[in-house]
Structure 1
Amino acid sequence: RQSETVRAFLNIGSIGLVACNRVPELIDWRSIDIDKTLAVVEANRDVICGIKVRASGVIVGSWGITPAKIAKRVAEMTKLPLMVHVGEPPPLIDEVFELLTPGDIVTHCFNGKAAGSIRDTDALFKMAQDMAARGILMDIGHGGASFNFETARASMADGLKPFSISTDLHLHSIEDPVRDLATTMSKLYGLGLSFEDCIEAVCAGPRGVLGLSGRGGLAAGTRADFTVFDFAEASLPVLDSQGNSMTLERLFEPRMTVIGNDVQPAARRAS
């Protein structure tokens, strides 16, 4: 049986998400060990593709923007991109944006949190558009509290497309609202992202960030690592992270996954 391809962003908080938000990984300066973080990166460059920081109030509390600044410095030192989780302040989302440079990633880009969303003000949305034009990557990261239908719909209608479509799956989001990547792709399609852009945002885009082959399509002699989808008519009610509902009329339905020589049929979603 072939193993799946796994890449990792290394959390700047040394304890990681051992107890999720009940014990945040960025309580104060004792939560970060720069020397050990650098050592872990150097020992695992075949797996680690970036540095990650959760820069929202429920994680950092009164520490504010400082953890994101430290994470950015470590990313620069290791010549890796920084992925920043954005949400409720502190820090304010524009404080986070000011740190980022081309190749960095904003995850949960279409969250609907008050004072933590790119749609809070016209100036913030213009800032997000300018960043995307400069090569800062907007990632969906649909989780239990981090994706809003109206934020996504309005942003895409105004020309801001996500660079990558991803899930933030965990125990409290896998049943609802997230379910799986195929459902998340279907939500973005239903909100106005084109079929071609949906495929790009789960294939070539993220493969480039993760340093994976096959960005130009399938080629003889390369290791197989892909999923085959149907694109089916349906009537599936779904939710966003704030409990807003919509009905999907077209679904990306996984048919099979091929990894190396291993072919695994996918369980079909009931609709």
Structure 2
Amino acid sequence: MLGVQVLQHFLVFESLSLTSQRHVFVVCYTSPSTDWQRPAVLAEHLVENQTRWRSWMRRNVLSVFKPTVMLLSVSRSDYQRACVTMVVWKLKHSGAQMYHFSCRRALSAAKRCAVPLMVHHVESTIPTQTDRASPSSLGCPKDLQAGDIYTHTYNGWRCSIVDPETKEIHSDVIEAKARGVLFDSGHGAGAFNWTVAEIAAKQNFWPNLMGSDLHTENQEGPAYDIPTVMTKFLHLGMPLNEIVRSVTSSPARAYSLNSIGSLSEGMDADVSVLRIDECDVNLEDTVGQKRNVKKRILPVAVWRDGKEHQVVLPTIWPNTNAIKRGLMINKHQIVKDKE
């Protein structure tokens, strides 16, 4: 699943072979920021005006929606509901009123379309932990339902899943996972914090879905690739069978991709062969913190729909420049290593 925000990276993403992906969705996107219509405009621009991507987009993108159409008139057409795969709600810097407006519209749209809501909850006035004395107040993930996806789970920003005072996972987060909300690692360029992940590991709070959130700003660190993200959770103590499930059958089920996710008879022949090597590296998170990693998951071979493809490894691993970039945002973390 590819959100429309990522379309802006296509022109420099060829090295990641995104054009060979068969399961790509441009999904309905809503954000409280002032540029919240920009992704849909960008998607239309690429579809209609970029010659090099026009045929690819028409072959692979299932649907492109303007957020205004999705959020204001989605109930008018069964065709619209059939095409929407997921509603993405991205919380960025904005006023409290717009946050709450966006939240309610996203929750409503997902419910009316009977599709999951995927939430990017990092910096927001909508709290991770709600006040039990005000049960009607909005909360994230409190207001999410079973099958909804909470991404960027292990970040240390204002909306961290960890209480900075008690160093425990918020009870609203624990309860959300218990009722079936799916938690995605969503590593990205700023959303994986070793301190937060270690606190979560002590409570066996592992991701249901392990996403790299790979793009041009983190493919050379700190995310690198999905095997590196898997390596980090292996270091944290996540059982190997759960790691494998979180990058195969679980995301396929979450995104309703019924032809991939397992090696069962009749499924698409998408096969990855991995190995675990010994290593001794200080591997960074997204905020410049490092941990000494002794085992690394590496790709050996990969087939997509029965066709073998070249395996590509990071050129520099770890990358000191990525560590330096991470340190620049470290001061904004509410949960981090002791200085």
One-letter amino acid of the structure 2 residue matched with residue 78 of structure 1: C
User: Could you say if the C-alpha distance between residues 191 and 224 of structure 1 is closer, same or farther in structure 2, counting changes exceeding 3 Å?
Assistant: same
User: Could you say if the C-alpha distance between residues 238 and 124 of structure 1 is closer, same or farther in structure 2, counting changes exceeding 3 Å?
Assistant: closer
User: Could you say if the C-alpha distance between residues 212 and 31 of structure 1 is closer, same or farther in structure 2, counting changes exceeding 3 Å?
Assistant: closer
Unaligned runs of 5+ in 2: 1-18, 31-35, 43-65, 130-138, 318-339
Determine whether 1:112 maps to 2:156. Answer: yes
* CA apart distance, 1:255: 1.6
* CA apart distance, 1:225: 1.8
Determine whether 1:177 maps to 2:222. Answer: yes
* CA apart distance, 1:92: 2.1
User: Could you say if the C-alpha distance between residues 160 and 215 of structure 1 is closer, same or farther in structure 2, counting changes exceeding 3 Å?
Assistant: farther
* CA apart distance, 1:40: 10
Taking the TM superposition and a 5 Å limit, the aligned residue runs for 1:1-271 are 3-8=20-25, 9-12=27-30, 13-16=36-39, 32-33=68-69, 34-35=71-72, 42=79, 45=82, 48-56=84-92, 58=93, 60-62=94-96, 63-94=98-129, 95-113=139-157, 115-120=158-163, 125-213=170-258, 217-269=262-314
* CA apart distance, 1:77: 0.8
Cα distance between partner residues in 1 of 2:297 and 2:74: 38
- Which one has the bigger helix percentage? 2
3-state SS of 2:109 partner: helix
* CA apart distance, 1:231: 1.5
CA contact (8 A) 2:75 2:81 kept: no
CA contact (8 A) 1:255 1:265 kept: no
Provide Cα deviations, 1:203-238, integer angstroms capped at 9, x if missing partner.
Answer: 111010111235773133332123221121122332
TM-score when scaled to structure 1?
0.83
RMSD in angstroms over aligned alpha carbons? 2.8
* CA apart distance, 1:247: 2.6
* CA apart distance, 1:41: 9.2
Cα distance between partner residues in 2 of 1:108 and 1:133: 18
CA contact (8 A) 2:128 2:172 kept: no
Name whichever of 210-219 and 221-230 sits farther off.
210-219
User: Could you say if the C-alpha distance between residues 38 and 182 of structure 1 is closer, same or farther in structure 2, counting changes exceeding 3 Å?
Assistant: farther
3-state SS of 1:71 partner: helix
CA contact (8 A) 2:110 2:117 kept: yes
- The structure having more radius of gyration, on CA atoms, is 2
Unaligned runs of 5+ in 1: 20-29
Cα distance between partner residues in 2 of 1:31 and 1:212: 24
CA contact (8 A) 1:55 1:91 kept: no
Provide Cα deviations, 1:148-173, integer angstroms capped at 9, x if missing partner.
Answer: 11111111211211101101222222
CA contact (8 A) 1:55 1:65 kept: no
* CA apart distance, 1:49: 2.6
CA contact (8 A) 1:255 1:268 kept: no
- Which one has the bigger strand percentage? 1
* CA apart distance, 1:6: 2.0
Cα distance between partner residues in 2 of 1:38 and 1:249: 53
* CA apart distance, 1:187: 0.7
Cα distance between partner residues in 1 of 2:37 and 2:110: 15
* CA apart distance, 1:87: 0.8
Cα distance between partner residues in 2 of 1:264 and 1:221: 21
| Counterpart in the other structure of 1:24 | none
Cα distance between partner residues in 2 of 1:195 and 1:264: 24
* CA apart distance, 1:44: 8.6
